[in-house]
Amino acid sequence: MVLNPVISKLTGKLVVLASASPRRLDILTNAGLKFEVVPSWFKETLDKTLFKSPHEYAVETAKQKALEVAKRMPHKHLKTPDIVIGADTVVTVDGLILEKPVDKQDAYRMLSRLNGKEHSVFTGVVIVLCQELEGQEIEHRTVDFYEETKVKFADLSEEMLWEYIHSGEPMDKAGGYGIQALGGMLVEYVHGDFLNVVGFPLNHFCKQLGELFNGPTSESPARGVEASETGEEQRSPSKKLSKCDGKIGMVGFSNDESDRAVPAWTSGGIVRKLNSTEPQRCDLDFPRRIVDLMDGFKASKALFTASKLKVFDLLTSGEGLSAKEVAGEITAAVESTERLLDALVSLGLLAKIKRRDATGYRNTDQANRYLVSTSEVSLHGYVLHCDERLWPLFTHMEHAVQEGTNQNERAFGKTSDRLSQDHLNSVKEEKLRFMNAMHGIAKLTGRDVVSAFDLSRFKTACDLGGCTGAMAYELTKAYPGLSVAVFDLQAIVEMSSHFCPGHLQDSSRVTFLPGDFFKDELPKADLYILSRILHDWPDEKVHFLLSKLSAICTPGCGVLVAEMFLDEERSGPSRALLQALSMTAGRQRSATEYHRLMKEHGFTQSRAAFTHSFLDAVLCIKE
């Protein structure tokens, strides 16, 4: 079956692709489908351990992407789509799901796993059918399927793997390779749909459209469809049509395994299991988004409290602990502890498991990775910082808006300058706690920032205000030929040895130099890093610092600016917009504003990269 027989059925319909993938766009465009692209805002954070097979994970991720767009468009775009297409591709080998690598080392890890082996590529596809009912209600029906393709990598040398990694191609590809481009040289054979490996199973999609608009075909059931013992076609759980209740942020699983639900608290709302036999209504009058925002502070405080009590440190074992056991460890009442644990389950941070004696609780993958205090990429310190510093500050927001000033004096009884000085002069334990908070966020964002551009042309770098050196260590890991100097205040440099990675084979390429980048002469380097620096200072100091950089930089030198970028129209979802409410002396800027700012100081060549992490980046070159 080809697409042409169903194209006429789609004439006049608003078809939307909920993906920014250029590969999927090309595949569907070349097939003759007319559609709009509206990238999904759904965060791909589902816990993989909750799914029995990789294709279930891919299908559910695709479903959440498509439903987020289908529900957002009537509000943000002021138009209702007829059909929304969502897709998610994963690569699996040895039972492990490989998605997009976070940096070059991660790409090497993935490609090494695939080297010389056969692996599977799964793409989950979801089609959302939107129908406007009376009273401006919208009904969403979903149909989903998946496709599997077997791919075998040749036996590749280390040199060839690294040559491919340095090409930059692996960084936005599931599994770390793109079969349609340079990655094709890694592949020995393909069994199945080639386009499925590229990112979209066109043949299966066409068959599915044919069933939806022309009725069932006489062809044998496609993957994702089961045949009953009587010989009649029977939809498998992954193929069942389900309705979406507009009062609920996302539909639940459409099969009987839906107790393994996705994290219940998301930007789209609360998830619950839906019985497909129950009539569901979509009531757009219910202020779902407003209710989510009203309750958002409760979710934040549950995370802060659990982190302060080190609940996540207790639940790293797959066997888990009961509420009574956790209560005993944190010296708390059993009933209130159980309430906290259940809330964390609803937020997708913990999972419930069945034990002989009682219900157990354990961390999800994300909690183990980012919330356990001893994890290499732990955000534990930054979470505590949010609770102890940002939470009190933001409780006085009405005064901040009315007065247009930072509220440190109301929250802590001290001015911003006095607080900063107190951090520098504080006892070792307090200073380490603050630096640990900064280290966690820098460690997490550093991988995205250093891989946003190819920086291999630079041989020396200087990270101004680099604090613990987290960004510097990420740079030296990604670029073996680069040496980095961290330039920060004396009190910070004295504590830097506490944050040197223990597994780092060669730490000599990262050095720490004491100094004040406003008062002292800057070290010479080919590349300067300004990570979370410019937003913190008033314009006059920003221009002063950039003037110093311009004076010391020779043609070809670069400045890498890492900041939260404002949405150009100040309307889209943005952490920077919320961060700006702290009313610091500085201000947040958009990518265009950073381009203009750097151009004023002679850095005329600039490129922006949106990492979809905490920080985006602009690389500027002096001419």
Q: What is the pLDDT of residue 17?
A: 93
Residues of the chain falling short of pLDDT 70 = 1-9, 76-78, 134-136, 215-285, 423-424, 426-427, 502-506, 571-574
Q: What is the pLDDT of residue 8?
A: 62
Q: How far apart are CA 551 and CA 554, in angstroms?
A: 8
Q: What is the pLDDT of residue 273?
A: 34
Which part of the chain is CATH 3.90.950.10?
A: 4-91+122-147+194-270
CB 65 within 8 Å of CB 21: no
E strand intervals along 521-568? 527-531, 558-563, 565-566
Q: How far is CA 360 from CA 312, 340, 491, in A?
A: 13, 13, 45
Q: Which of 47, 82, 88, 155 is catalytic?
A: 88
Q: How far apart are CA 197 and CA 90, in angstroms?
A: 9
Q: How far apart are CA 599 and CA 596, in angstroms?
A: 5
Query: How many C-beta atoms lie closer than 10 Å to residue 102's C-beta?
Result: 16
Which part of the chain is CATH 3.40.50.150?
A: 445-621
Domain range 289-375, its CATH number among 1.10.10.10, 3.30.70.20, 3.40.50.10860, 1.10.150.530: 1.10.10.10
Q: Write b or e for each residue in 556-575: b if 16 or more Cβ atoms lie within 10 A of its Cβ, otherwise e.
A: ebbbbbbbbbbeeeeeeebe
Per-residue tokens: 340: 């906290």
Q: What one-letter code names the amino acid at 369?
A: R
CA proximity to 24, closest of 173, 153, 152: 173
Q: Indicate the pairing of strand 527-531 with strand 460-464.
A: parallel
88 is catalytic: yes
Q: What is the pLDDT of residue 132?
A: 80
Q: What is the pLDDT of residue 48?
A: 85
Q: What is the pLDDT of residue 424?
A: 66
Q: What is the pLDDT of residue 138?
A: 85
Give residues with Cβ within 8 angstroms of 615, minimum separation 6: 445, 448, 449, 531, 532, 562, 563, 564
Characterise 247 by phi-psi region: left (phi > 0), alpha (psi -120 to 50), beta (else). Answer: alpha
The dihedrals phi and psi of 544, each to the nearest 5 degrees, come to: -65, -45
Q: What is the pLDDT of residue 246?
A: 35
CB 533 within 8 Å of CB 464: yes
End-to-end CA distance of the chain: 56
CA proximity to 530, closest of 513, 517, 521: 517
Q: What is the pLDDT of residue 254?
A: 31
Q: What is the DSSP secondary structure assignment for residue 263, as one 8-state letter?
A: P
Domain spanning 4-91+122-147+194-270: which CATH class is it, in words?
Answer: alpha beta
Q: What is the pLDDT of residue 6?
A: 65
Q: How far is CA 134 from CA 15, 138, 283, 402, 450, in A?
A: 22, 8, 11, 43, 52
Q: What is the pLDDT of residue 308?
A: 96
CB 519 within 8 Å of CB 497: no
Per-residue tokens: 342: 């259940």
Q: How far apart are CA 426 and CA 272, in angstroms?
A: 47
Q: How far apart are CA 573 and CA 576, in angstroms?
A: 9
- Residues 56, 61, 65, 68, CA torsion sign: positive
Element (H, E) at 444: helix 428-450
CB 80 within 8 Å of CB 132: yes
Cα maximum dimension of the chain: 83
Angle at 225 (CA atoms; ends 221, 227), nearest 5 degrees: 70
Alpha helices in 13-122 (DSSP H): 22-30, 54-76, 104-114
Q: What is the DSSP secondary structure assignment for residue 134, as one 8-state letter?
A: G
Q: How far apart are CA 308 and CA 322, in angstroms?
A: 19
Q: What is the pLDDT of residue 135?
A: 60
Q: How far apart are CA 437 and CA 480, in angstroms?
A: 27
The helix/strand/coil state of 18 is coil
Give residues with Cβ within 8 angstroms of 245, minimum separation 6: 251, 274, 280, 281, 282
Q: Which CATH superfamily is domain 445-621 in?
A: Vaccinia Virus protein VP39 (3.40.50.150)
Name the β-bridge partners of 514: 488
Q: What one-letter code names the amino acid at 579?
A: Q
Q: What is the pLDDT of residue 134?
A: 67
Which part of the chain is CATH 1.10.10.10?
A: 289-375
